[in-house]
Amino acid sequence: MSRRPDIAVVGAGLAGCEAALQLARRGFLVRLYEQKPQARSEAASSDRFAELVCSNSFRARSLENAVGLVKEEMRRLGSFFMAAAARAEVPAGGAMAVDRERFAAWMTEKVQAEPNVEIVSGVVDAVPEGDFETIVATGPLTGGRLADYLRELAGSGYGELHFYDAIAPIVDAETIDMDKAFFASRYDKGGDDYLNLPLDEPTYRRFVDELVRAERVLPREFEDPKFFESCLPVDVLADRGPDTLAFGPMKPVGLVDPKTGKRPHAVVQLRREDKAGTAYNLVGFQTRLTYPDQKRIFRTIPGLEHAEFLRFGTVHRNTFLDAPRLLDRQLRLRTNPRVLFAGQISGVEGYVESAACGLVVAILSAARLQGAPIPPPPPETMLGGMLNYLATPQDRFQPSHVNHAMLPPPPGRKRGSERKLAYAERALAALERWVLDNAIHVLEPEA
Ligand SMILES: Cc1cc2nc3c(=O)[nH]c(=O)nc-3n(C[C@H](O)[C@H](O)[C@H](O)COP(=O)(O)OP(=O)(O)OC[C@H]3O[C@@H](n4cnc5c(N)ncnc54)[C@H](O)[C@@H]3O)c2cc1C
């Protein structure tokens, strides 16, 4: 191997790529370890870096929304994730969604072309030896024996496998019966970005009955599954009661079926997977059903009678640290500050949050490597709020998407949308001050 790196990153996923590029473009030599192509996690289907393993959505775009705000903060800090998202964007109403192939291809090319990044392929089972820091960004499906190694390194409280997520199926657009579908976004927000399949009440009831009786994949390690509440499988929702789905992912609110002029009893929404619209994912239809039962039962949805499934839904594990107990404010391991964490393994949740975490950890690490450490982003910023959440002790720590509850309330008595915009205005002003006060060099990812 060549000369000693300034810092190592393990995992070329969303957090790892962002961190590696941020550090390399600031002049540090980064050794980036990635298990692909030798090994892949159970959810991965390509050898590209920064692979989106499930949905192609980066969620809401609006500044009124916490995830919209964190994306804007990232953009203002010169995030590579945001630059890739802008290049690969596909229409998705009020949400930001991307063509996953283009997104990952751009990120992979950037990392591979970066002279200050040395890529080392192979499964990492232990944090690399050497007198340099290592950012562990191996994600929720950390491979090899690394999870066991980290458990020992962290001492007690390594919170692994605390809950399970599930992924939704994708169907070939050509096999959807478009005569039974209509394009619309809820409340006309975003035009024709979603394809809707309406269900009348008897069809909906039969569908739910089938789900309740369906065969599910329950390998031993899933015997006591703890799902992320906002990403529950459709079969779990069906078990909760006959109307739960009609108030959840199949809710018909804000939609009118042009054929009847009425709101349907329930609806299945499909979102484009790529710009050309050759494939659609079933929004919110993550599931544990066996593949044959997915095919049989989802084909009872009007419009999907002859659907070809390009990917079936699955359940996956999620490995993460009990961050408040184990990490300091710079996301270094308390028992061994040479080891840092970024991305989902550090206790954040979601694509955007994982990349945001990689961005902040890299900026803080760069300052430390330069001998001039800086404080984390202020608590009024969404990035600061996210880090505060990771530092707030809880009885049973659970990863979380960003939300406004992570921020101190804004002054005044504003309500609703005005209040949310007040959060955003204050956050962006605080971010600007943080950048200026700490002389943070903001990169230009496209350069
Ligand atoms: C199945 C599944 C579906 C998900 N769906 C969504 C979704 O729809 N929307 C959403 O916002 N979030 C979703 N998440 C959560 C999360 O946002 C993503 O997992 C996200 O990719 C996490 O980013 P990351 O950078 O932390 O890890 P990853 O993007 O997973 O990157 C980790 C990288 O580390 C590599 N690696 C792992 N172990 C080793 C090792 N031992 N040695 C070397 N390399 C290693 C992997 O190959 C990978 O390239 C999902 C998670 C899973 C597992």
Whichever domain contains 145, its CATH number is 3.50.50.60
Residue 145 CA, ligand 1 centroid: distance in Å: 16
Task: Please check whether residues 187 and 143 belong to one and the same domain.
Answer: no
- What is the domain range of residue 100? 7-160+319-437
Are 283 and 380 in a shared domain?
no
Domain-located, residue 85: yes
Residues 326 and 294 placed together within one structural domain of the fold: no
Q: Is residue 201 domain-shared with residue 115, that is, in the same domain? A: no
Which of 26-40, 65-79, 241-255, 262-276 shows the lowest mean pLDDT across its residues?
A: 262-276
Ligand 1 site-directed mutation target among 9, 41, 80, 357, most atoms within 8 Å of CB: 41
**Rounded (5°) CA angle 15-27-134:** 45
- State which of 286, 317, 348 marks the end of a domain: 317
| Domain-embedded: residue 1 | no
Q: Does 167 score more than 80 pLDDT?
A: no
103 Cα to the center of ligand 1, angstroms: 15
- Which has more confidence, 239 or 185? 239
Residue at which a domain ends, from 317, 335, 355 = 317
* Cβ of residue 140 lying under 6 Å from some atom of ligand 1: yes
Count Cα neighbours of 202 within 13 Å in the Cβ-side half-sphere: 0
39 with 58, same domain?
yes
How many structural domains are present in the chain? 2
Q: Which residue owns the Cα nearest ligand 1 atom 39? A: 143
Atom nearest to 50 CA in ligand 1 = 29
The string of pLDDT tens digits covering residues 57-88 is 999 999 999 999 999 999 999 999 999 999 99
With a cut of 50, say whether residue 386 has pLDDT above it: yes
Q: Is the CB of 346 under 6 A from ligand 1?
A: no
Is the pLDDT at 265 greater than 90, yes or no?
yes
Same domain, 286 and 418: no
Share of the chain above pLDDT 90, in %: 70
53 pocket-lining for ligand 1 (C-beta < 6 Å): yes
Domain with residue 178: its CATH number is 2.40.30.260
Residues 295 and 373 in one domain: no
Closest CA to 297 of 178, 200, 212, 236: 212
Range with the largest mean pLDDT of 271-275, 295-299, 407-411: 295-299
Q: Is 316 in the pocket of ligand 1 (CB under 6 A)?
A: yes
Residue of minimum CA distance from atom 8 in ligand 1: 55
> Quick check: 103 pLDDT over 50?
yes
| Ligand 1 close to Cβ of residue 16 (< 6 A) | yes
Asked whether residue 324 falls in the same domain as residue 240, the answer is no
Residue 144 lies in a domain: yes
Q: Does residue 11 share a domain with residue 145?
A: yes
Q: Is the CB of 138 under 6 A from ligand 1?
A: yes
For the entire predicted model, the pTM comes to 0.78
Same domain? 70 vs 101: yes
**Domain ends where: 254, 287, 317?**
317
pLDDT higher at 320 or 14: 14
Q: What pLDDT is attached to residue 160?
A: 41
Do the domain assignments include residue 443? no
